Structure formats: C-alpha cells, structure tokens
Structure 1
Amino acid sequence: MFRDAKKTFYCKTLREVVKEFRSCKTTAEERALVKKESAQIRDLFKEGDTAFRRRNIAKLLFFHMQGYPTEFGQLECLKLCTSPKYKDKRVGYLGLLVLLDENQEILTLVTNCLVQDLQSSIPLVAGLALTAVGNVASAELIKDVFPLVEKHLQGKDPYLRKKALLSAVRICKKVPEYSSLLFDYMTQTLGEHTEEIVLTGLALAFELAHTSPEYIDRLRNRVIPPCVNLLKELLSPSFDPELTISGITDPFLQVKLLQVLSVYGRGSKEAAHSCTDVLIKILSNTDSSSNAGLAVIYECVRTVIAIRELPDTLRSLAVETLGGRLLNEAKDNNARYVSLQTLLTVVGEKKEDVKRYLNTILECLSDPDISIRRRALDLVYALTDSSNIMQLSRCFLEFLETCEDELKPDVARKLSDMADRFAPDIEWHVNCMARTLSLTDVLMPESLISLFIALISAKQSVQEYAARLLFELGLQPYAKVNPQIADRLDQSLYALKPALEIVSIWIIGEYGYKLIEQQVLSSEQVVNSLRTILHLSMRNTYDEGMKREVLLGGSVHSSSSLLREVALSCLAKLYMRVMLPRETQELISTILRTYQTSLDLEVQQRACEYFQMLDERWNTVSKKIMASLPPMDYNSLRKKHLSGSDTAPGANPRKELSESLVSLLLDEEEQADNEEEQEAASIDLGRLEILDFGKSTDSSRNIFKNELDGLLLSDKNEKTGTSKTIQCGEHLNAELYFFEEYDPSFTWKVEFHFHSLVPEPLKHFRLQIAVPKYMKIDLQPATGTTLEQGKELIQIARLSQTTSEEKIWQLKYRISYEMDSSTRNPITSEGIFRDFPVRKGIL
C-alpha cells in the first residue's frame, strides 16, 4: 500500500505533464522537464511496474510527438499489447504504431500477440490487431497473419470488414502476389450499401490498380459498372444520403469513386463511353460555392484529363469549368491554385481553350500569394506563341519589376526562351533581352548573359543597334558625372547594376567603335562613363554578389572586380581601334596608369599590360590582339544552355548496361562501361571578356583559349553534322546528330536530342545503348532525368569499330521512363538503329 502510494505521488498523469510542458517558457525548460520525466519513467520500467505502465507509455507518446527520443519504451508497448485488459491493449497498439515501424526487428516479437488478438471474439480487440497489420506489418508478418485477415474479410461484422479491407490495402503493397486472392472481396464491397465498406473497397481497388496494373483489364468490367451506378445514385434527387456537406451528397465517396474511374477507365473506349454521362452531370450540376463541391469538381476534371478516350467536348467542358467557373468565381486561394495547376496539365492538348481565360490568368500575376503567382507564371509561359508574344512579354517585364528576388532568375529564363522562339525580329529580341538584363541584373543566370552576348555576336545586322541600346541603358547615366565627386553621389540614383554594366561595356568595347566612327556616340562620353563606373565600383557598397550566391547557388566572382577588369579591356580596345582625340588618349593612359597600383592583382596586371601595349613599339602586335572576335555559334550555345538547365543534381555519372539489354545484341557480348565522367563545359561570366591577355602562365592562356574555342566560337563539328529522326514510342521522339570525331580513338560522335510529345513530364528518363563486339562505345551522362514538353534532353555517345575490316554500323537502344498517369511504369521502348550516314573512306 505504502509503495503504491509513493509511486502515485511521483507518477504524474498525462494531463499534468502536458500542462507543465506548455507552461515552459524556453526550450531549455522543456528539455529539463522531458529529461526528468523520462528518467522517472525509465526507473519504473526497470522495476517492472505494471500499475502505471499505460500512463507512462501515453506520456512517452506525447514526448515522441514533440521530437524527443523514446526508444526505451518500445518493449513496454509490446507488453501492453499482450495485456488482457482492453485499455492496456489500446495504448499498447497505439504506441506500436507510433514508436515502431516495419523495419525494426523488435516487431517480430508481436507476431504471436497479433495472431491471438485476430482470433479474439471481442470485435474491439480484433479491430486493434487489424489496425496494426494495416499500418506497420512487414512482408514476413503479413504471410503469417494473412489467413486470419482473409477470415475477417469473409465475416459479416461491418466494423471488422472495414478494418480487414484496410489491412488488405497494405497487403497489396507489401506482398503483391497476394493481390489476386483479394479480387472477389473487393468486387463484393462495391455492391454494399454501407458507406464505410464501399469506401474501403474503393481504396483497395485503387491500390490494386497501382501495385498490380496487369490486372486492370481483368477487373475493368467488374469495377466500372458498379462505380458508375453508385455515382448516378448519389447525384439522383431521390437518393437519401447518410452524409451531406454544404448541399453535396457524400463528397468523400464521390471523390473516391472518381479516382477509381480515372484508373480503370483509361485504355478502353467502352469504359470511357460508360463514364461520359455521369462525368458531364457532375461538371454541370455540382455547386462550386463550397469546398466540398470544389473537391468533387477538381477530381472530376482530373478524371476527364486522365481518360484520353473521352470525347473532346467533355475535355473542353472540363477546361471551361476550371477557367470559367472556378478561376473567376473562387475566392479561396487553394481553389485558384488548384485551378491553375490543373490548367497547366491540359494546356498542351487544349491550348486554345485555355487561352480564352488568359486575362484572368494574367490577373493572378498580381495576387499576394506567391504560390499562385508562380503557377500563373508557368501557365502564361505555356500559353505564349507568336500571336501573343508582344503582349505577354510586356506582362513578364512588368512582373519582373515588382516580383521577389527569388522569382527573377526563373522569369528571366522564361523571357529568354519566349524571345528566342517567338521573337518577331532580331531587334525586338535584343531589346527584350536588354530590358530583362536591366531589371534582373546580377540575378540573371550567367548562361543567359552568355547567350545574349552570343546572339549579338552572331547577328552582324544588330550589333550597332545593340551597342547603342546598351549604352543608353548601362553607360549613358554616368556620361556627364564628374568622377571626382563619385564618392558624394546619391547611391539611390547612381547605384551600379554590375551585370548590366559588364555586358554593356563588353558590347561597347567589341562593337562600339563603329558608332564612334559614325559619330553616333561621342568617344568623350564613352570614356567618361567608363571612368565614372570605375570610380563607383571602388566604393563596393552593394552586396549583389552575396545575393546572387544565395539565390542562384555557388560562389561568384566579385562583381566590382570583374566590372573593373572589363572596363579596362574596353578602354584598351577603343584606344587601339579608334582614332581618338589626343585628350581622350591621354585620359585613357592616365586611367590605366592609375590602376597599375590597384590592390586587386588581376586588375593591376591588366592595367600594366594594357599600358605597355599603348607604346608604339607594340602597334603591330597590339592591333592583332585587340582585333574583333569571330562570330559566336549562337545555336550551339543555346543547345548547351537548354540542356544544362535541366541537369539533375543527383544524376549518376557512371553508365550502366543491364544484362537484359546485352542479351538483345546481335553478337551477344558485353561492352565495358566507361567509368570516367566528362563534365559539361559551363560558361562563366568571368570568362566573357574582351581580352584575357594578362594571364601569368601559359597554361592559363591555354585554358582560356580552349574555353573560347568550345564556348564562344562555333563548334567545328557542327558544320559537318547530319541528322536522322527516330520515333521512340508514342510519347517521344529523338533526333540523332552525327559528327565526325577528331579523337583518333573514335569515329563518330552521336548526339541524341530527345523531345517529348505529351504535356506530362517523363520522369526517371534513361537511355541504354549496346553495340556488337566489333564496336566500342563511350556513353556520356544525359543532361537530365526529366523530359518536359517544349524542352529537350541531350545525351552523347562516341562510337568506333575495333577491327580493321569495316562492318555494318549499328546499335541497340533501350529507353525507359515513368509517367504519373501511367499504371505500367516504367515504360520502355527498344529498337535497332543502322541508318548511319555514309562516311568517305570508311563506309
């Protein structure tokens, strides 16, 4: 008696512990309380206490919910499960579900307890055991208790049948070979009149379709008719429902029925035809003023989108319901978000229908909710074409002025792609990119900056226009500023935009001499602007570099340092190319001389070398060094940009070749995998300079020369490439570009450019290639693992023959990917390609 009273004094109730926990004002107080209570609970467990075991486990569950360790109570949960008292069993099984999972070996100790409780004549006890099976049972445990679960599936108690059906859902996941044994139980439930039985039966039908898609065709005729009939009953005015929410008859059951129809209705015209009437009725008659009605309508739209065999009129009605009723009328942000997201999935098929609601979608760009703005941005981008590029680009630029910094890189990418695909003329393209750069500045991805410079370089007709435009945007504001008072200028009026200034100075240095010779620009204005920018850059009062590092990832070169480097290069170029007045030449010499003592080593080196080049002794050499760069290959650089934007960060660089693919070869011999990863060349803003003359070693000069050859100049192989197109199943095709490989170890370089034909992303994309034994292959990593419509995914393979005797060039390919709407993942496509182009002297 005395001992029990002492324990009662120290063993607090769950209510008292929760009250004390909530009264803690600091995290340290919370930890102290949990530590003290856990120590007392652990002591009681060691003493073998049974009087307060249930109370202590309940407190441990509360601590676990707060994130504190409670592993020492797992065994005590099992002891509670074996207790003959129902109250103990209830807390024990709850602890079993919360504190344990299927991967813990301690779970095997509960097998006998589960078997006994499943055979119990008390429904509540058997229900607890079925709940445990449905939540934490492993594959081995399921095999032990499946006969008992099947016995409850055959029973008449609705409560136990519901629990058994939920357990059957987990059985399908963990032991798919048992799926065929559950067909009859699933179809029987669809004819029941008890809502909870029908709901759990539908959950089982849905899980069967995902875990065992090969059974869909067998079950379609047994699932579709009862589901359609039940939906018609729910929509009938004479139906007496058990549950009504905001005037919607049993929305939970309607949503579940629609989910099952979306899975079993696809792939069969007959099944789609049987669903058409009831889907039209739901879209037309369901009230969208409540959340329950919205949920039913959204699920119905998803069902219509999933079943491609439905008539086009019904799919148009679904788009009209989303855009016309929900997007316009819905005041709830969740409803608008889901509407935009769903419209985004159908825009590829019903673009013209979605365009009718373009004005409503554009209004969402000014919504206070950033998630809605993101979805609206994606949808507007998907709706862009040559007919509305002018309107939508203005909307994007207006949005870019006011949007958050984290959105600006994505908006810039979209604007660049829109302009590249649908620009009415080259001057408009340059103007759009210049305005985008002005508004985005350092947050603009470096690949887009490189692409913009390459565009101007490749199009000679627009070089003068671009130089004049960029001078107005980037340099003219500083043309009349006295550099001597730069330190006293208002920072809000004269805040540098480093990326815009760098590009503007680069273009002026490369093409501005034409405007100076034509007297369109004044050399004094240009030089004075550069001198002012150099002075302002010394203040270094902005943190764009840090902002760029946070938002875009990775470290960046100092914006102020890079700006000074490019400005000095521009001054040197103008000095060598243009007949400047003596005063201007002396001013340039003075500027270069000033920066010969710069603390920045790179700036100092450039200034010293450029100043030496001003000497007349170096005229011949300096003019060659300062000559114009050859035109850049814009198309090649754009392909690299598009492929690089989708690179998967977690992609495995090592190539894999499965045995099943090798077995399909004509000559049945494995090829060794190349285990060396070849990193794709990246374009760094710091390399896009007018001149990189001031490197201290030959190796660094060679690195820069190689980068110019590979990134800025046109690819030599691009001039001789030929292409072939192959169809890779119903969802994508591939363009194969063949280049003669200059590496003596290989003969051909083949670029696979994959394009999606469907709006839904193709995930976990993978290409495998095998060749006969007389050939060898080097398969490089793909540029990504997800293929989206409107984008391309690139993978490169290099091929050669290992024998002196020339044989047929051929390869075997296998493509695999997954789609969210498909029940037969992964989807594979195989084929043999022999249509190699003829090569003189080789084939």
Structure 2
Amino acid sequence: MSARVKKTNLFKKSLHDLIRGIRGCKDPDATDKYIRNAISECRQEVLSQDMDVKTMAVMKLAYLQMLGYDMSWASFNVLEVMSSPKFAQKRVGYLAAMQSFNVDTDVLMLTTNLLKKDLASPNHLDVAIAISGISNIVSPSLARDLSEDLIKMMNHSKPYVRKKAVLVMYKIFLQFPEALRSSFPRLREKLEDPEIAVVSATVNVICELAKKHPKNYLPLAPQLFNILTTSSNNWMLIKIIKLFSSLATIEPRLKAKLIPPITNIIQTTTAMSLLYECINCIVSGGMLSQDDDQLAAMCVSKLRMFFEETDQNLKFVGLLAYNKIVTIHPLLVAQNADVIMDCMDDPDLSIRERAVELVVYLVNPDTLFEVVKRLMLQLIPQSREQILPEQYRVEVVRRILDMCSNNTYANVTNFEWYIAVLVDLVKITEGIKDIGSEIGMELQNVAVRVRSVRDYAVASSARMVTDADIIYKNPNVLKYAVWVIGEYAVFLEDPRTVLDIFINTEPQTLSADIEAVYVQAIPKIYSQYAGSDHMPWTHSRSQEILVLSGRIVAYLEKYATSMDIEVQERSVEFLELFRLISEAIKERPVDDSDLNPPLLISQAMSYMFNIWELNPVSQKAQRRIPIPDGLDLDEAFNDPVVYPESDDDEEVLLRQEIMRQQAAMSSKIINGKDGKIATHSKKSKMKTVLQGKSDSEDEEEIARKRQERKQRQQEDPFYLLESEKVARKSRKSRDDLDSSSESSDEGDDPMKNEEFDIDAIPIMKLEIASIAAPVTKKKSKKSRAPPAQVEIAREETFGEDAVNGGDIDTSTRIASARTSSNRARSSSKHKSILRVDARGLENYDLGSPDDDVADHLKVEEFRAEILEARKKAAEAAEQEVKAKHIVVKKVKKKKKVKVLKSKPSEDAEA
C-alpha cells in the first residue's frame, strides 16, 4: 500500500512543473485555463493526509497568490502546514500565512497557541520563523496575547533571535501600545547588547518610535550618545543622528553636547549619506543659528562636494540642504550660486524644481535680470519631444513673481522691463489654468504703485486685450488688464479703438467676473474720449459721440438681463446714464453755436471717475478701524419671524399686520425687555389664530398646499433650501472630533522614576578644521551707473503701520508657496510602502500622573528658592539705591513673580 502511495505521489505536479506549464501557454486564455485547472488540483491535494502533498499544494497556491489569484479559502490548510513538526514544511506554511493572512482572517484566532508553542521551541530556527510570521499577521488580540512571550525572547541566547524579537516589538507597539510600558526596560537594555546587530535593531525601533513622540526617549540620550561616539557602523550612526535631530528640537541643551562629535564626523567621513544626515541634523535640529558662521561655512563647503559627483541623488539632497540653510545664512549659500544655477539646466526635473525654489533667495538688484531670464527659459521646451509638466511651469512663474515683488519691489530697478516680463509670461503660459490671474494681479499692482510707469502699463494692457490668442488661451489676465485700461484711460493713445473692441465683444464669451470689469471700464474710457479738451466740440463730433453712445447703450442692453447679479447691476446703472447722455446730445442745437459738450460728459462723468486718485490700501487697515461704542456685532437686530405653512389670504394679511407691529416696536426690542415681551405675546396670538384656523381646514387640502409650496421653492433658483441633515452630520462630526481629541490626550508613563540627566553626556572639545570656502571667479564687468530712483506708492493704513509706510512684504507668499509645494511632494509620503499605520503612537505620552505631581513639587521648591534669592537681592539693591538718593521702581519684578505663580504647569514642563 505504501508503495502505491509513493507511486501516485510521483505523478503529482511540483512547483517547478506548475511554473513550466504556465510558461508553456501560448495566449492569456490558455494561461488562465491552465491556472484554474491547477487550482482545482490544489483543492484536492490540500485535503490529502500526506503532509508532503499538502505542503506542495500550499506552496503552489502561494505562488499563484503572487500572480493575483485568491487563496483565502485555504487558510485552514495553511494553518495545518504551519503546525508541522518539520522545519521545511513549517517554513512553507508561515510563508503562505504571511502572504494571505490579514486581520480579518477567520482562523487567525487559532494561531495563538501555535505561535506560543513555536516561541517556546528549543530550536532557535522555529522561534525565528514564528517571529517573522508574527510581524506580518499580527492583530490587536495577537499583540496582546503574545507580548509577554516576545519580551522574553529579547533575552534569548541566540543574537539572531534577539534581533528579530526587538524588531517585531515595533509591530506589537502599533497594535497594542500598552506593551511599550512593560517592554521598555528590556528595550533599553538592548542598547548595551554585546552583539552589534541587536544594538542596530534597537536603535531602529527607538528611532521609529521617536518620530511620533520624541519627548519620551530623552532619558536614552546618554546611551545613544555613547553609541554615536564609539560605533563605526554608518547605517546605525545615520539612525542615531536622525533620532538626535528630533530630540534636539525639544531639548536645546543637547546642542553643546552634539556639535563636537557631529562636526568630527563631518570632517572625517567619506560616506556621503552620513555626511548629509550630519548636516541635516545640525540644521533641522535647530543647532545652526545666525551667529554660527564658522559651522555654517563648513556645512556649505561640504555640501558643494555633492554637486561635483555624477550621482543625481547627491545633487538633489544637496539642494535640499541648501534650501534649509539659506533661510539662516543666505550670503554663504549665495557664494555657491554658480552650481545652483547650473542645476537649473539639469535634465532631471526634480533637481530643477529644487534649484528654482532656492534661487529666489539668491537674487539682488544686480542679478535679478539674469536670474529671471534663466527662469523664463525654463518655461520654453528645448525640443518638441520635451513636455514640461504644468505644475512645474506654474511654480516657475510664481517664483519669478515672488522674486520681483519681494519687499515692495526692492530688487526691481527698471519697471518697464518688469512689465515686459509680465507680458511675456502671459504669452508663454497660454493654456495654463489660473496662472493668468496671478500675473494680471502683479500688472495691476505695479500700475497702482509706480506712477511713472503707468503709461507703459496701459499701453501693454491695451496690446493684450486686442490680442486674440490671449483672449482665448489666457483669458484670466483680461480682468486686470481691462481694469488698468479703465482706471488710467488718460494714458490711452487710441481710446476709440479700445472702445470698439470692448463694444464688439459678444456676451457669454467671457466669464461673468471679466464681463463686469468690461462694463465698468467702458464708461471710464468713454469719459476720457468724449470729454477730452484736445478735440473741439463741433457738430460732427457731437454726432460721432451720439453714435458711439448709441452703440454703448445697445451693448449694455445685452448685459442688463444677465444672470450674474454684478454684471446686471452695473449694466443697468450705466445704461440709464448713457441714455440720458444720448438725450442731452440730441437736445443740443444743430449749429456750432455752443462749443461745449453736455455737462453729463464734461463734469458728471469726470467727477464720477477722476476726482480722486486710487491708492493701495493695507490689508490690516480695516482691522485698525475702532468699533463704535454701543455697537454689538453679535447681537441680532430682530427676532426671527415665524411664518405659517399655509398660504391663505387671511393669513397673509395677518402676517403683514404682525410684521408692521414688529417694525414699529423695533426700538423697544433692541433697548429693553418690554419690547421683547410684547413681541412674544404677538407671536403667541398669531400662533393661536393660525392653529384654530388650521384645525378647521381639511387635512388633505393642507397637505396639497404644503406640497405645492415645496415644489415652488425647489423650482425657484433664488430660494435657498435648508438642509437639517447636513447640519446634524456636521454637529455630530464636531462632537466626535472633540471626544477623540480629549481621549487622545490621556496617557501614562512606563518609565517611572526616569529623569533626563544631561550631565551624563560628556562635553567634547570642538575643533572645526579651517575649510576655505570655494572661491568662484567672477567676470569683470564695467561699472554701471546707479539706477534711477523710482517712487513706489505706499499702502494707506491706520495706526503704527501708517507711520511705517505700510510696506508690502511678500515673504509670506513665498513661504506659502514653499509650503504648498512641499505638501504636494510629501502627500505620497503618508502612504507607507509597508502599510504601517503608526498613528496610534502619535499621542501616546510616557508621562505618568504620579511622576508629574512629584516633578511639580520639585519645581515649586526650586522656584521658591529662586524667588527668595531674588527678593534678598532686590532688598539689597533697594537699600543701596536709597543710600545714593535714587528712586528705583520695581514694577517688572512684581509682574514676573505673578507670572511664575499663575503658570506652574508651563514652568514644570520647562
């Protein structure tokens, strides 16, 4: 019988046969048919009592699962193979489980005893493979049940098992954060393990944990510092340096301890990855200040080496580091402007993006022209095959606008050149959505602020509004170009041509906001053209103006019925004005006896648009206007009126009568309580009358009227329907958010009686080698004449800003642009490749309430000693001052004592 079983087993397909059969299929249909037959065979094989046959079937299913076929139906059979006493079969079972099991697998609860048995096995290979399986299939229940067993494995005699046990604890912490409390002492011991692999694994786990809550791991700083100064493993040093960059942000005293060893690594290491992490730790950890010129010069000079390598990754990280240093030491980074400008022509688009971000900080009045020219060349594809992403082109345009407008155009010495740049940007960025409005806004801002260049701005705007390509491909800029033409129409060379172009614009070819600007600009241009003093008012001119006025009336009549309220309101207002102008011209005598235009043209329209000059206003001006006394902006003007559901004529009359009574008593409602009581009594009477009337009506009639009213409301485009369902959902979401935030703030500390001893870290002597910054040869240039001073209009505001001139500072816009681009780049980082979700550890605080009370008591005792010493010093100083007949006020001392008493929690944290 056994011989027959062996003979049948010889004809079973192995994994090698399965792969060879799949490769032998000619087309996808044949492949799919072959695989389905193989799965059917596996369904029979997993039911075999022979463990070798069952193991081979599970191995084939694991291979097919990698090709996208489901094997969840065989989860119990996988569990059987996992329980095999043979290591080769057990390994196949664990491999299949790691591939196919998830948190929702039904048989997962049956694996607890099996995993405990394998963890207690005398064979260290069984223990290792069980730990590997746990790291992939762990669930909250498994983490809770197996945490104690895994903590014991951290002291296993085999370093191979200890390393795996330390690493799997991170997965346990993610599913069961309370395990961090019981395992932390053991995890701390592993930092001093004699095996370097175990220490490296421990550092990795602590580094990952510290990303969510670094404050918990400050007591480990002395041990980590010892590893930093004694280890030669570059990868472990990188992890420790990353960890210290997180700890240094919450403990500034670490700076004096960390700078010497990190500086030594920077000067001696040849590994570029370690060099970058050291520089990044100094910058990101807040260790580099404006006074550290020598340290900054060393970091900048070392980073220059990254651009001399052929590896593109080194250039990328070098630009990232420069972007962080340039905000603190821009002059040092500017010394390497040559390599940064070369990166702008790099074929790698990601490197060009980082270089464009950096070049904004390197411009000055002398280099602005060249930098803008290089950036504008970035917007033009170098070949037909090259396709520049729209996001990159938008980013380049925004950088150009930020460079030129920064600090109220401090770097721009020729505003005609800047307007020409804006016009070229409009043409280059045709077809890019929303960027035209930003360019147009800059054109409008320059025209308002720089009076000497308004004529050039108006001429450039006139050329844009007459360009058909711009109208159809980049229409967003028209809103601002037309505004500039209308506001400063006095500088137009040919206003009649511009008017003809505006009037000939067909309705609905542009958006409503642009049409509103067109309607507003036409009367302004008409006022300058018709009321011009350079052209005498003759009969022929009056007829010309009459025809022009008639055309404008016909143009405005098209927009008088527009669905946009802004367009409709402006059209109706100006329509009546131009009709009056046409009638006034017709009433003039036929002969040329009266050589003056009608007063509506010469005075009324002139006073309407040209009597005051428009100046820029600060964004903070409105906030500085004081609120009048007695005005409560939160108080309602009147109580809401309750309307009945039915629309009967008698009820409408009754409602109108009540509304008139409420209007008459509005002063009482606002000033006293009597009016409110009277209003409530009127409401109660109205409700009583309406209730009696509704009881007498037929219920079907009431339902019919209610349905008709709802139908009318839905068909009415100006009626806003209430959505109580949406309001309930929003209130519920806010309540859930508040409850979750309150619960997330709670936490305990497994590290009882642990204090951060900064003195345990030895102070090393800092010796920075004198590294000369690279000197770049500059071409000799002829001395240029100093640029002419251009008057830029300041913003109008109130209070202190009015004294300072209210300058614009567009650094906030640069910061917002950098934040948006970084957010767009880091959006993909939130999706972990390993599908690890560490949000459960983000608010897991290791501070226990008992320790906090003890810490508060110590801080209060220390504060009392400080206050007593200050009091004695103040008394001694006061006596000395009195002896010299000098009166000394100590108001600040008293205020400081009050602050210390009123905020003990902040001092305790400090």
TM class by shorter chain equals 0.5 to 0.7
Q: Secondary structure at the match of 2:391?
A: helix
2:400 to 415, 428, 433: 415
Q: Which amino acid in the other structure matches residue 239 of structure 2? A: K
Q: Deviations over 1:342-380 (max 9, x none)?
A: 322333223332222222112212211111111112222
Counterpart of 2:279 in structure 1 is 301
Please say if 1:439 is aligned against 2:415.
Answer: no
The alpha carbon displacement at 1:229 in A equals 1.4
Please say if 1:465 is aligned against 2:442.
Answer: no
Counterpart of 1:82 in structure 2 is 83
Counterpart of 2:350 in structure 1 is 371
Q: Which amino acid in the other structure matches residue 53 of structure 1? A: K
Counterpart of 1:228 in structure 2 is 229
Contact 1:340 1:379 in 2 (8 A): yes
Greater shift, 412-421 or 266-275, is seen at 266-275
C-alpha distance in structure 2 between counterparts of 1:346 and 1:720, whole Å: 37
Q: Greater strand share, 1 or 2? A: 1
Q: Deviations over 1:96-147 (max 9, x none)?
A: 2222234655422211010000011111111011222334323432332233
Change (3 A) 1:299 1:786: closer
C-alpha distance in structure 2 between counterparts of 1:505 and 1:433, whole Å: 15
C-alpha distance in structure 1 between counterparts of 2:742 and 2:56, whole Å: 62
Structure 2: runs of 5+ lacking an equivalent: 382-387, 533-540, 585-598, 624-729, 744-794, 802-808, 826-838, 848-897, 900-910
1:522 to 486, 491, 494: 494
Alignment of 1:685-696 (within 5 A): none
C-alpha distance in structure 2 between counterparts of 1:497 and 1:638, whole Å: 33
Contact 2:363 2:403 in 1 (8 A): yes
The alpha carbon displacement at 1:199 in A equals 1.7
Alignment of 1:496-575 (within 5 A): 497-501=474-478, 503-512=480-489, 514-516=490-492, 521-523=493-495, 525-526=497-498, 574-575=525-526
Contact 2:159 2:198 in 1 (8 A): yes
Number of aligned residues: 623
The alpha carbon displacement at 1:164 in A equals 1.6
Q: Which amino acid in the other structure matches residue 392 of structure 2? A: L
Q: Deviations over 1:468-525 (max 9, x none)?
A: 34246515768xxxxxxxxxxxx8x99865344554344324423x024xxxx12455
The alpha carbon displacement at 1:76 in A equals 2.8
The alpha carbon displacement at 1:325 in A equals 0.7
TM-score (norm 1): 0.60
C-alpha distance in structure 2 between counterparts of 1:824 and 1:722, whole Å: 44
Alignment of 1:311-390 (within 5 A): 312=292, 315-316=295-296, 319-321=299-301, 323-326=303-306, 328-383=307-362, 389-390=368-369
Please say if 1:284 is aligned against 2:267.
Answer: yes
Counterpart of 1:668 in structure 2 is none
Change (3 A) 1:31 1:214: same
Counterpart of 1:131 in structure 2 is 132
Counterpart of 1:65 in structure 2 is 66
Alignment of 1:787-798 (within 5 A): none
Q: Which amino acid in the other structure matches residue 406 of structure 2? A: R
Q: Which amino acid in the other structure matches residue 375 of structure 2? A: F
Counterpart of 1:164 in structure 2 is 165
Q: Which amino acid in the other structure matches residue 359 of structure 1? A: D
Change (3 A) 1:333 1:258: same
Q: Which amino acid in the other structure matches residue 360 of structure 2? A: Y
Contact 1:451 1:638 in 2 (8 A): no
Structure 1: runs of 5+ lacking an equivalent: 235-249, 288-292, 479-490, 539-556, 641-651, 664-714, 724-752, 764-782, 789-817, 833-843
Change (3 A) 1:6 1:569: farther
Alignment of 1:601-680 (within 5 A): 616-617=581-582, 628=609, 631=614, 635-636=618-619, 658=738
Contact 2:48 2:54 in 1 (8 A): no
Change (3 A) 1:659 1:607: closer
Change (3 A) 1:107 1:632: farther
Q: Which amino acid in the other structure matches residue 297 of structure 1? A: L
Contact 2:288 2:296 in 1 (8 A): no
The alpha carbon displacement at 1:149 in A equals 2.1
The alpha carbon displacement at 1:89 in A equals 1.4
Contact 2:98 2:137 in 1 (8 A): yes
Alignment of 1:184-203 (within 5 A): 185-192=186-193, 194-203=195-204
Contact 2:425 2:439 in 1 (8 A): no
The alpha carbon displacement at 1:624 in A equals 6.0
C-alpha distance in structure 2 between counterparts of 1:57 and 1:205, whole Å: 37
Alignment of 1:449-464 (within 5 A): 451-452=441-442, 455=445, 458-459=448-449, 461=451, 464=454
Change (3 A) 1:175 1:386: farther
Q: Deviations over 1:162-188 (max 9, x none)?
A: 112212333344444443544554454
Contact 2:436 2:474 in 1 (8 A): no
Change (3 A) 1:660 1:200: closer
Q: Which amino acid in the other structure matches residue 78 of structure 1? A: L
Change (3 A) 1:410 1:611: same
Change (3 A) 1:23 1:635: farther
C-alpha distance in structure 1 between counterparts of 2:380 and 2:622, whole Å: 28
Larger RCO (alpha carbons 8 Å, 6+ apart): 2
Q: Which amino acid in the other structure matches residue 162 of structure 1? A: K
The alpha carbon displacement at 1:57 in A equals 3.1
Q: Deviations over 1:431-490 (max 9, x none)?
A: 554443343345243652563465267548368335434246515768xxxxxxxxxxxx
Q: Which amino acid in the other structure matches residue 465 of structure 1? A: D
Q: Secondary structure at the match of 1:345?
A: helix
Q: Which amino acid in the other structure matches residue 403 of structure 2? A: M
Q: Which has the larger radius of gyration?
A: 2
1:578 to 510, 525, 529: 529
Q: Secondary structure at the match of 1:366?
A: coil
The alpha carbon displacement at 1:606 in A equals 12
Q: Deviations over 1:792-812 (max 9, x none)?
A: xxxxxxxxxxxxxxxxxxxxx
C-alpha distance in structure 2 between counterparts of 1:76 and 1:63, whole Å: 16
Q: Secondary structure at the match of 2:280?
A: helix
Counterpart of 2:783 in structure 1 is none
The alpha carbon displacement at 1:90 in A equals 1.0
Counterpart of 2:658 in structure 1 is none
Please say if 1:115 is aligned against 2:116.
Answer: yes
The alpha carbon displacement at 1:73 in A equals 3.3
The alpha carbon displacement at 1:281 in A equals 3.2
Contact 1:337 1:371 in 2 (8 A): yes
The alpha carbon displacement at 1:161 in A equals 1.5
Change (3 A) 1:510 1:66: farther
The alpha carbon displacement at 1:285 in A equals 2.9
Counterpart of 2:653 in structure 1 is none
C-alpha distance in structure 2 between counterparts of 1:445 and 1:762, whole Å: 17
Change (3 A) 1:587 1:189: same
Greater shift, 41-50 or 169-178, is seen at 41-50
C-alpha distance in structure 2 between counterparts of 1:305 and 1:190, whole Å: 27
